[in-house]
Structure 1
Amino acid sequence: MGDAIPFPVKNQGSGGPSPDAVPLLAVPRIARICALGLGLDELLGEVCREIQAMCGAEGCYILSCREDGAGVEIWRSSLPGEWPDLEPAFRSQGPLGRVIDRLRPESVLAIDDFDILSPDDPVRMLHGPHPIRSALLIPLKLATRVLGVLFLHMYGAPRKWTEGEVRVAAEIVSPILSAALERRRMDEQLRESEARYRFLADNALDFISLHDPAGKVLYASPAARGMLGYRPEELMGLSAEIFLHPDDREKFLEGNRRLERGEHAAVALQYRVRRKDGGFMEVEAVSSAVRDEHGQIRQVVRVTRDLTERKKMEAHLFEGQQLEIVGMLAGGVAHEFNNLLVGVTGAVEMLARLLQGNGEAHKYLSMIERNGERAVELTRQLLAYARQGKYSPRTVSLNQPVLENVPILKAALPASVEIRLDLADALPPVLADIAQLKQLVMSLCLNAGEAMPRGGSLTIRTWGVKHLSDRLEEAATAAWGPSAGVVRSGKSLSGPCSILEVTDTGTGMDGKTLGRIFEPFFSTKFIGRGMGLAAVRGIVESHDGEILVRSEPGRGTTFLVGFPAVPETPAAASPRESPRRGGPATILAADDEDDVREIMSAMLRSAGYRVIEARNGIEALERFRGRSGEIDLVLLDLMMPGMSGEQAFAEMRRIRPGVRGLLASGYDESGRLREIVADGFGGFLRKPFRLRELVGKVEEILGGREHGEGPGNP
């Protein structure tokens, strides 16, 4: 025959037609096999055996082309047991793969005798230990794509394949097998797709469920256990509505109606669902409809996400924004109020000096002074809450504010409250404003005293650590146990720090109350202002500290406050001019508030200083330019229109480097107070101030030089 050449199906090959060889009787038998309802693999095995019998062949194989194009694989065979010796030929780079490359979809390849093939023809290699003598290869195709091959062969003698055999195999059997191969491929793809999506659903953190049109659960992903507490099988057949919060049922049903109407491809809703433990949780669910060819809903796919953590973060963000707004308002009010208090308390103090010996007048002046001090304390709490109260930081020990407050606490707390001190001897110093720390200690202790109406013990403890490997919160939780309610605020401390601990044996707090203790104006007391602990929080955060509170009803409360430790080093002295000798010192005083400026100037004159007044920073700079040689000290308000005290002082230093400066303000609005004061100013004066505080700061900066006794008004 020579080289095997593919020929069209309807050709008769090398011989004439042979009606006796046309096995049409096999066609109804193959049809009956297909009607038996056998499994695909079993069906094809029966078809292989029927085709082998039809052609009188010694072997029949159905070969499937691999999707990756790497050769073919045996799918079914008419031979029982292990595949025979053809297996090596069918591997990815085997000869049959090269033969199929030559096989056109519309052709068959009939080889009557392998011996007449050329030695290098790959068809000759289609055998193992038992040489194949003849073969018939029929492509199994879908359109123009070859899906596989029907392979019939003989071992012993040459075999002439008749036109009838070829036509039955190619025109009747081949379409059946091609459809079976395509069905197999689609089934495999479907299984792979199902496996992929099941893997995604089974491993998704969100809860994925499938529902019928009535809402009953057909599938529930494993995330149901973690989210709702139910095993997936417990949810099967249940209606989604039974898990809804009663107030959210109508919202859920309206979402379903929108999905039915086809208004959106997917409907997203937020509602509450009941967990297995009976509690409700807020979720977000996205529902999508699977529709049939008529647009009717067959199934609903729902992806449900737990919103617990997101709601917590949103609440925390909202609280932070709310507190920031309240803090800005509180800081602004306190700043303006401090300016007013300078006029009130300063005028009272100056009037008391003028009315010395008038007992009746002093009685009422003392009353005004006491109420003025209460107002000053309130503004300090407002500024502390607004985190704008870190006025004069220096290295201090946490023991100092405790010891200075003990006498006051003994007088303020009921005798039934026992105060216990456990203060560390060698305590790492912290950088803080001592007045703010005293306010913090006082607020915590008074709060503890109010929690013990029938008496108890108040323990104040200090301790320090050189290396805190764990965060303070983790250390506290480990010490208190996981059952204790704990809230925190401020930075997470690590490394060297000093700790203040205030513990009472009072009534304690439940989780709801504990979560609100740092809110401004929140109080469980009928007449409470609710600013004490809010101010404590502000003080802690303005000092880069951390505060934790542990409390349980009936078991008391513990406040744990940590501040980062600092090395105890003396502050570097700013370069100053040597004080001039002879005559009273001259001070340039600038403030945009008329009453503040007038009282401040009067206080300085009463102490023997000469005063040059300025109404703002621009005017102060003009006065300094004209009289810089006679000015010993400039006293500047921080916030003034047109030019701030900081800007004016910077210009003055360009005119006369080393000029002494004292900065005054009700609060540090920009958050840069320490940097501003350190940049050339000799000190900071907090409003409102007393006469002794003002004169003390001036004398400290001037180096204790003598000043005159007279008014000294230029």
Structure 2
Amino acid sequence: MNDFFASAVAGPPELPARVEPRGTVTAKILAVDDDPRNLLAVREMLASPGIEVVTAASGPEALRLVLRDDFAVILLDVQMPGMDGYEVAGLIRNRPRSSRVPIIFLTAFNKDDVHVFRGYSAGAVDYVFKPIEPLILKSKIDVLVDLYRKTEEIRRQGEEERRLLLENLRVRGEKLKAEQALRRRDEHQTLVLGALPIALYTASLEEDHRRLHFTNDSISRITGFAPEDFLRSLDFWETRLHPDDHDRVIGALDMAGQDAVTLDYRWRCADDSERTILDHLVVIRDDDGRPREYFGMWLDNTDRRQLEQQLLHASKLEAIGRLTGGIAHDFNNMLAVVMGSIELLQRSLGDNKSAQRRADMAMEGARRCADLTNRLLTFSRRQSLQSSVTDLRILVPAIVELIRRTLGERIEIDLDIPEAVWPVFVDRSQFETALINLAVNARDAMPTGGRLTIAVRNRPETAPEGEEASEMVEVSVADTGEGMAPEVLEHVFEPFFTTKESGKGTGLGLSMIYGFAQQSGGRITIESQPGEGTTVRLVLPRTDRAFDGVAEVAAAGVPPPEGNGETILVVEDDPDVRQVAVSTLTNLGYTVREAANGDEALTKLRDGGTVVRLVFSDVTMPGPLTGVDLAREVRRLQPDIGVLLTTGYVGEDVRLDEGVEILPKPYQTQDLAQKLRGLLRSA
């Protein structure tokens, strides 16, 4: 070992300087020797750019370094205490990561063939004997370092190629995904454009700018014409414009110039039907900003235009409803004065038949006015249902007589109603309106005359096992008219749907009847075939409620029940209406007190005078208390006092507490007397 040190100190012959290329891999060389002087000599011999010499003083230390770093060459002394070079080389070769690292044994002894063979068997690639010639060691190390660097370069090139391949695959994958997403978007856009009532087109900027080049097939679905039909002649589009829209649309196009323009017009399609078209076109410019062509879009706006017209129609009906509701209260108050005064007059006429006949005629006219107001409220849907137990044997024949006068002589009317018909709980006015509407529809379906059959029958209905069978009453209206096709029959109950000419129907009749049937707990069905007439069946549930007797008693001419001096407080802000009510109640045998508003009524109830049995109050009154509020206060302060409300307009916003009854104005003495007697009995 000392010889090795001496030769190293003497210094190696001068070697040409080795210039390492830029980017050269640094090669680590591990020198293992128990003599630090030998390690210092190796470091001095091999020191050069691109080479890092790492030293270890023992075999275990060398093994720890091999586990930590990768080395280009390992210089391993054979004779070391503890663990010799052969054992260290064997352990290095057994580790996969370091199994291919070249090992050069350094030795001053053991130069015989047996030891050399043992060294090669342990994994050495070469032997260098001490004293070492620096030039020989340096040459061998350079060869192995070059081999390491070339191997490392090949490895790095392989890794780079693999990285580039993976990057290429990633880019190709992203490109494929982008292409698939673009294709899906195009397909989705095509499906959306195909489903929407939209057709796209281009057109020239020249005089033939209305020769439209449609770019999708939606135009066929909208108009029935193929895209090539629009190219056959210059005036194809223009000749199918609605005459009333022609001048306006052509003028707008001429004024548009090179700006965008939106047109709305009616256009005649292949089947001669008219569609409302929303036509929006813009100017497309080239890269220099010069106008190149028109790009346009056709949108079938027919359904929207119809909805707008229906909305306008509904708005008009709403306005009618507001107007009707506004005047109904005052008008019915006036009728209450008229009808009440006539009834009082009738009682005083005695045997004067001529005067009695004139009074009866005046009463009939007043009743018709009241009925007209009620129908207007019902039509405008400003009237809540006023249901009562109804005997159709009495009501239907009366309506049929009105229908006979309405339909004229060309329509023969048959009424089929048995003696035993179950009662129903319905709004009589709504029922009458429904039956008249059905009869008018039947008349319109028989323009040259025909037969109308109105029938009433009991209709027991079976129910599924475990459920109670229902009992219904069916009112059918059958005509011998033109009938309806199945596609028309599907829409007859839709609001605003009508087959009549413009101005001859609102499209609300059957929808109102449908709503009335639903509100009454029943249903309506319709059967029709083209050329075989139509039958509409209104099915209503049987009621078990007791008759209030008002209609039946009035029809029988029975005098109204009179009072026995009970005190009734009349609350009414209109002095004329209040005076008629007071006179009527006085004639019926009641003691009457008066109040002009709710506050005055509460004051009279609290004064402790005459015991009031019932409060008869108007609903709409000036002041903080309405009739409904007054009813709540009366029931809170004196629950034993009955309350009967009356009004000329029962709006949808009127919410009555349970047990509070209402009598619509104008009322007749019979109606008022029956209501009072029933409330006083229950109180």
User: What range is the shorter-chain TM-score in?
Assistant: 0.5 to 0.7
Check if 1:121 corresponds to 2:115: no
Check if 1:221 corresponds to 2:225: no
User: Can you give the 5+ residue segments of structure 1 that lack an aligned partner in the other structure?
Assistant: 7-112, 129-138, 140-145, 149-184, 469-475, 493-508, 521-531, 572-581, 706-714
User: 1:283-330 CA deviation, whole Å, 9 max, x = no partner?
Assistant: 112212211244332122212211111112212222221111112212
Is contact 2:283–2:291 with CA below 8 Å preserved after alignment? Answer: yes
In the alignment, which residue of structure 2 is the partner of 1:607? 588
The 1:217–1:626 alpha-carbon spacing in structure 2 relative to 1, beyond 3 Å, is: same
Is contact 2:484–2:534 with CA below 8 Å preserved after alignment? Answer: no
- Shift of residue 433, structure 1, vs aligned partner: 1.8
The 1:4–1:311 alpha-carbon spacing in structure 2 relative to 1, beyond 3 Å, is: farther
For residues 484 and 339 of structure 2, what CA distance do their matches in structure 1 show? 47
For residues 224 and 308 of structure 1, what CA distance do their matches in structure 2 show? 14
Check if 1:282 corresponds to 2:272: no
- What amino acid is the match of 1:482? P
In the alignment, which residue of structure 2 is the partner of 1:700? 678
- What amino acid is the match of 2:301? L
Check if 1:691 corresponds to 2:672: no
- What amino acid is the match of 2:242? H
Check if 1:230 corresponds to 2:229: no
- The one of 581, 593, 603 equivalent to 1:622 is 603
In the alignment, which residue of structure 2 is the partner of 1:210? 202
Is contact 1:268–1:287 with CA below 8 Å preserved after alignment? Answer: yes
Check if 1:421 corresponds to 2:425: no
For residues 376 and 681 of structure 2, what CA distance do their matches in structure 1 show? 34
Check if 1:588 corresponds to 2:576: no
In the alignment, which residue of structure 1 is the partner of 2:658? 679
Is contact 1:489–1:547 with CA below 8 Å preserved after alignment? Answer: no
For residues 442 and 199 of structure 1, what CA distance do their matches in structure 2 show? 53
Is contact 1:2–1:116 with CA below 8 Å preserved after alignment? Answer: no
In the alignment, which residue of structure 2 is the partner of 1:102? none
For residues 455 and 393 of structure 2, what CA distance do their matches in structure 1 show? 10
- Shift of residue 403, structure 1, vs aligned partner: 6.1
- The one of 293, 299, 310 equivalent to 1:305 is 299
For residues 300 and 191 of structure 1, what CA distance do their matches in structure 2 show? 31
- Shift of residue 636, structure 1, vs aligned partner: 0.6
User: Can you give the 5+ residue segments of structure 2 that lack an aligned partner in the other structure?
Assistant: 1-18, 25-146, 465-477, 548-562
In the alignment, which residue of structure 1 is the partner of 2:340? 346
For residues 373 and 280 of structure 1, what CA distance do their matches in structure 2 show? 48
- What amino acid is the match of 2:639? P
For residues 641 and 269 of structure 1, what CA distance do their matches in structure 2 show? 54
In the alignment, which residue of structure 1 is the partner of 2:31? none
In the alignment, which residue of structure 2 is the partner of 1:314? 308
In the alignment, which residue of structure 1 is the partner of 2:331? 337
Is contact 1:3–1:118 with CA below 8 Å preserved after alignment? Answer: no
- The one of 411, 432, 437 equivalent to 2:431 is 437
In the alignment, which residue of structure 1 is the partner of 2:500? 512
User: 1:253-310 CA deviation, whole Å, 9 max, x = no partner?
Assistant: 4444555344xxx432212223222322111122122112443321222122111111
What is the DSSP-based 3-state SS (H/G/I as helix, E as strand, rest coil) of the residue aligned with 1:517?
coil
In the alignment, which residue of structure 2 is the partner of 1:91? none
In the alignment, which residue of structure 1 is the partner of 2:637? 655
The 1:292–1:639 alpha-carbon spacing in structure 2 relative to 1, beyond 3 Å, is: same
In the alignment, which residue of structure 2 is the partner of 1:200? 189
1:552-591 mapped onto 2 (5 Å cutoff)? 558-559=535-536, 561=538, 584-591=565-572
Check if 1:245 corresponds to 2:248: no
Indicate the structure (1 or 2) with the bigger Cα radius of gyration.
2
- What amino acid is the match of 1:298? R
Is contact 2:339–2:363 with CA below 8 Å preserved after alignment? Answer: yes
In the alignment, which residue of structure 1 is the partner of 2:378? 384
The 1:282–1:694 alpha-carbon spacing in structure 2 relative to 1, beyond 3 Å, is: same
In the alignment, which residue of structure 2 is the partner of 1:22? none
- The one of 555, 558, 578 equivalent to 1:597 is 578
Is contact 1:663–1:684 with CA below 8 Å preserved after alignment? Answer: yes
For residues 228 and 443 of structure 1, what CA distance do their matches in structure 2 show? 37
1:39-50 mapped onto 2 (5 Å cutoff)? none
1:19-30 mapped onto 2 (5 Å cutoff)? none
Check if 1:260 corresponds to 2:264: no
The 1:648–1:191 alpha-carbon spacing in structure 2 relative to 1, beyond 3 Å, is: closer
- What amino acid is the match of 2:599? I
The 1:227–1:453 alpha-carbon spacing in structure 2 relative to 1, beyond 3 Å, is: closer
Is contact 2:620–2:647 with CA below 8 Å preserved after alignment? Answer: yes
What is the DSSP-based 3-state SS (H/G/I as helix, E as strand, rest coil) of the residue aligned with 1:295?
coil
- What amino acid is the match of 1:292? D
What is the DSSP-based 3-state SS (H/G/I as helix, E as strand, rest coil) of the residue aligned with 1:271?
strand
Greater fraction helix: 2
- Shift of residue 513, structure 1, vs aligned partner: 3.7
Is contact 1:227–1:306 with CA below 8 Å preserved after alignment? Answer: yes
Identical-pair percentage: 25
- What amino acid is the match of 2:669? L
What is the DSSP-based 3-state SS (H/G/I as helix, E as strand, rest coil) of the residue aligned with 1:208?
strand
TM, length-normalised to structure 2: 0.60
- Shift of residue 646, structure 1, vs aligned partner: 0.6
For residues 406 and 245 of structure 1, what CA distance do their matches in structure 2 show? 46
What is the DSSP-based 3-state SS (H/G/I as helix, E as strand, rest coil) of the residue aligned with 1:612?
strand
The 1:430–1:461 alpha-carbon spacing in structure 2 relative to 1, beyond 3 Å, is: closer
What is the DSSP-based 3-state SS (H/G/I as helix, E as strand, rest coil) of the residue aligned with 1:118?
helix
For residues 639 and 691 of structure 1, what CA distance do their matches in structure 2 show? 21
Tell me how large the CA RMSD over aligned residues is.
5.0
For residues 417 and 148 of structure 2, what CA distance do their matches in structure 1 show? 105
For residues 2 and 313 of structure 1, what CA distance do their matches in structure 2 show? 87
The 1:562–1:292 alpha-carbon spacing in structure 2 relative to 1, beyond 3 Å, is: farther
- Shift of residue 618, structure 1, vs aligned partner: 2.3
